[in-house]
Structure 1
Amino acid sequence: MRVIVFGASGLVGHGALRACLLDDDVTEVLAVLRRPLPVSHPKLRQVVHEDFTDYSALQDRLTGLDACLFCLGTSSVGMDEAAYTRVTYDFALAAARALQAASPSLVFAYVSGAGTDPTGTSRQMWARVKGRTENELSALPLRTVMVRPGYIHPVGGAVPRSRALRALRPLTSALFPLLRRAFPGQVTTSDALGRAMLAAVRSGGTSGAVLDTPAINRLAA
């Protein structure tokens, strides 16, 4: 299986990339990034790319792929709706359309989040934008899986991008066993999320399929 990963430098993408590199069924991983990762592996191919709304220069590299793990995203904190929409909606739709044209049988897994609102009525801007993105992806002639994790605990060398989360890491690491016992339906790890996404795309996916945290943890077990 040949897999393309977007956002491999982030917390979620780290888990996705790690799952792919450890899985014997995955023969090649194409990581599309703005900056190269300090990682070397026989399966890994890194492509440095600047414009995540235009993949025409990469079209030849996008053929013959079996799955996409789209982990590219950002926090909505401090962003207006237009800027957040560009990163969240525009980037994802551009990638999905390019992949649908180049590898039409591919399965596209999109990392959204718990609380995403596909109805567009939420007061939370990020939830509306994520919901619109899910809706538009599901409408494409492409098999899709929407992944909605809650709290993601970093493991396996994953590091949160947020300074605040990095500062809180000693506390969250100490509390994680308690959180997992108290809120099993809302807590997962970066590695479990990566394994679950890979399992979901391997099984084929259907338009609009949704994985919440309990489903993520079941698939990852």
Structure 2
Amino acid sequence: MKIKAIITGATGMVGEGVLHECLQHPDVEQILVINRKPGGVSHPKLKEIIHSDFFNLSPIENQLTGYNVCFFCLGVSSVGMKEDDYRRLTYDLTLHVADTLARLNPDMTFEYVSGAGTDSTEQGRVMWARVKGTTENHLMRLPFKKAYMFRPGFLLATEGAKNVKSYYKFITWIYPLGRMIFPAGFSTLQELAQAMIKAATQGYEKPVLEVKDVVKLAKA
């Protein structure tokens, strides 16, 4: 299967890593990134749309057809946020984009970057985990060809990545030790991106992928 992909969140660390792998992968033929600001990446198979309001995609809908995969890497931290605000920027925004893409591209595979610890029951005490769980559950009910939820834990950024938090370089030393002691919680961003591409081209046995699934699929 050849991929014509839409990527959101390409100016963040995860999205940048996914874009980097897609640009190099022979099965990815076309890439459309939707950014709020220019990403600064140029490539023959890359097209960029600058669009500030993800709650109103009608001005760019005519440019969103003809794609068979969406790598949804857009997200915000819940730190310091009230639940209503976090829900709006996580559940409401994601579902609005997904609803639109499902309508325009019914043969699309939708892949959502969630997080380790997401609460599928939607009833737990941890706010972000409930909201992510609700988001995942609703995405899997939409009329996509397939939908996969990726739950990364600690991610080691791709070498040379630009879009990382300033404090990140001070905690990368944790990765080798964490991977050895608790492999179920640690992977590289490259592994995540490769697993997402392989899920799109080859499929996977279950719709929710934890860290161990990500590593397994990346190595397959």
Show structure 2 runs of 5+ residues with no match.
none
The alignment-based identity, stated in percent, is 43
Describe the shift of the 1:96–1:168 C-alpha distance in structure 2 as closer, same or farther (beyond 3 A): closer
Deviations 1:40-63 (A, max 9, x none): 111111100111112111211111
* Counterpart for residue 87 of structure 2: 85
Show structure 1 runs of 5+ residues with no match.
none
AA in 2 matched with 1:148: R
* Counterpart for residue 5 of structure 1: 7
The 5 A counterparts of 1:1-221 are 1-142=3-144, 143-159=146-162, 161-162=164-165, 166-170=166-170, 172-204=171-203, 209-221=207-219
| Alignment RMSD (CA, Å) | 1.6
Describe the shift of the 1:202–1:19 C-alpha distance in structure 2 as closer, same or farther (beyond 3 A): same
- Measured in 1, the distance between the counterparts of 2:133 and 2:88 equals 14
**Structure 1 position 159, deviation (Å):** 4.7
- Measured in 2, the distance between the counterparts of 1:14 and 1:90 equals 23
Deviations 1:152-196 (A, max 9, x none): 11123235654xxx32523x2333222211111110111111111
**Structure 1 position 205, deviation (Å):** 6.1
AA in 2 matched with 1:186: G
**Structure 1 position 121, deviation (Å):** 1.4
Q: Is the 8 A contact 1:107 1:204 kept in 2?
A: no
Q: Is the 8 A contact 2:16 2:163 kept in 1?
A: no
AA in 2 matched with 1:181: M
Q: Give me the TM-score of the superposition, normalised by structure 1.
A: 0.92
